[in-house]
Chains A and B, each alone.
Chain A
């Protein structure tokens, strides 16, 4: 299997959240994303910073992750982004 690039990993992580009824805890997300924890941390921080996901704390202070509107838009536009990058060799 070819090595995934940054955009692909971001898309996969966001898709995992979306497929999990838009609510998933960090640990299962890390497990399912199939990347090392250090790389996961790096990508997680990046998508959080870009406001593609948000963290929600419940009453017991447990953290869950859900997609923002921008996150859903990213998934919608992912193929367009990839095609654009490919077409202009960016």
Chain B
């Protein structure tokens, strides 16, 4: 792998470089396979729990499902654009509008990925949070704000700051939640999911930061999603 001077310690930020990401680091096939696993797991969780939600109308199940739909959408936007760039040589079209296209893609990705993590928290805290009327709007506003900050200020420190804030929010929320069972590893699964999701976002925003650990991040993230899918399918049985 050749690290060009342009790549070293240079925040990618918005623009074409973000959507192109690091296809070259691990290879396009690995990128697509990783995206496929994450999107497939998320959609299987979303559609697999549809009947449980339709029958019960339980709000916790609703927000849990939505969280995985947002995960799928976030990764879909990231990977679909990469796929278009690599497969159909749309670089020429993008060159005409590189700034806006890259920014829009980054904005959508940041918006959905932040929303996914916030909805995962919402699913376990809905009984408390739903006492306030406008929680949903608030979560969307936070996600929009983070996405907006990411595209306006192309700053490495800001990207790391946003993800640390999100991760601390997850930790604090999960820690406050009273544990129903003594032996429930859900806390660790959600913490790991949030941690690796933050690393995923940083990996896209600042490619030079984790280029030697990218495969490890991908493997760990895939494992966490597969673990959650396993837990879901084990619980819903033949639904």
The answer on A and B forming one complex is yes
**CA distance in complex: A41, B186 (Å):** 37
Q: Which residues of A contact B231 (CB under 8 A)?
A: 87-88
User: Is B235 a contact partner of A74 (Cβ separation < 8 A)?
Assistant: no
Q: Is the beta-carbon distance between B237 and A80 smaller than 8 angstroms?
A: yes
A81 lies within 8 A of B56 (CB): yes
Nearest CB in chain B: distance from A43 CB, A? 12
**CB contact list, B219-238 vs A, under 8 A:** 231-232, 235-237
Does B98 have its Cβ within 8 Å of any Cβ on chain A?
no
Is residue B157 within 8 Å, beta carbon to beta carbon, of the partner chain? Answer: no
B169 within 8 A of A: no
Q: Out of A80, A89, A90, which one reaches B236, CB within 8 Å?
A: A80
Interface flag for B92 (CB, 8 Å):
no
Of the candidates A70, A84, A89, the one whose C-beta lies within 8 Å of that of B235 is A84
B55 touches A89 (CB 8 A): no
Q: Check if B51 is an interface residue, CB within 8 A of chain A.
A: yes
Stretch from B6-14, B33-41, B57-65, B203-211 contacting the other chain: B57-65
| CB <8 Å contact, B236 and A85 | no
Within 8 A of A (CB), among B103-121: none
Identify which of residues 171-185 in chain B touch chain A, using a CB-to-CB cut-off of 8 Å: 177, 179-181, 184
B184 touches A89 (CB 8 A): yes
Are A74 and B56 neighbours in the complex by a CB distance under 8 Å?
yes
Main secondary structure of the interface of B (DSSP, over half): helix
B239 within 8 A of A: yes
Across the interface, which residues of A come within 8 angstroms of B63, CB to CB?
90
With A50-B57, A85-B61 as known contacts, state yes or no: A80 contacts B186, CB within 8 Å.
Answer: no
Count CB-based A-B contacts (< 8 Å).
62
Q: Are B55 and A70 in contact (CB under 8 A)?
A: yes
Knowing A83-B235, A84-B236 are in contact, say whether A90-B58 is a contact too (CB < 8 A): yes
Within A40-90, the residues touching B (CB, 8 Å) are 46, 50, 52, 70, 73-74, 77, 80-81, 83-90
Evaluate contact between B60 and A81: CB separation under 8 angstroms: no
Q: Which residues of chain B from 25 to 74 have any CB-CB distance to chain A below 8 Å in the complex?
A: 49, 51-52, 55-58, 60-61, 63-64
Q: Which residues of A contact B60 (CB under 8 A)?
A: 85, 88, 90
With known contacts A88-B64, A90-B124, A81–B57 Cβ distance under 8 A? no
Q: Does B155 sit at the interface, judged by CB under 8 A?
A: no
Quote the shortest CB–CB distance from A75 to chain B (angstroms).
Answer: 10
Shortest beta-carbon distance, B204 to chain A, in Å?
28
Q: 29 interchain pairs (CB within 8 A)?
A: A50-B55, A70-B55, A73-B51, A73-B55, A74-B55, A77-B52, A77-B239, A80-B52, A80-B236, A80-B237, A81-B56, A83-B235, A84-B49, A85-B58, A85-B61, A87-B186, A87-B235, A88-B123, A88-B124, A88-B186, A88-B231, A88-B235, A89-B124, A89-B177, A89-B184, A89-B186, A90-B60, A90-B61, A90-B123
Taken residue by residue from 166 to 202, chain B's Cβ proximity to chain A (1 for < 8 Å, 0 otherwise) reads as 0000000000010111001010000000000000000
Q: Are B124 and A81 in contact (CB under 8 A)?
A: no
Closest Cβ–Cβ distance, residue B119 to chain A (whole Å) = 12
Query: Which residues does chain B contribute within 8 Å of A50, judged by CB atoms?
Result: 55, 57
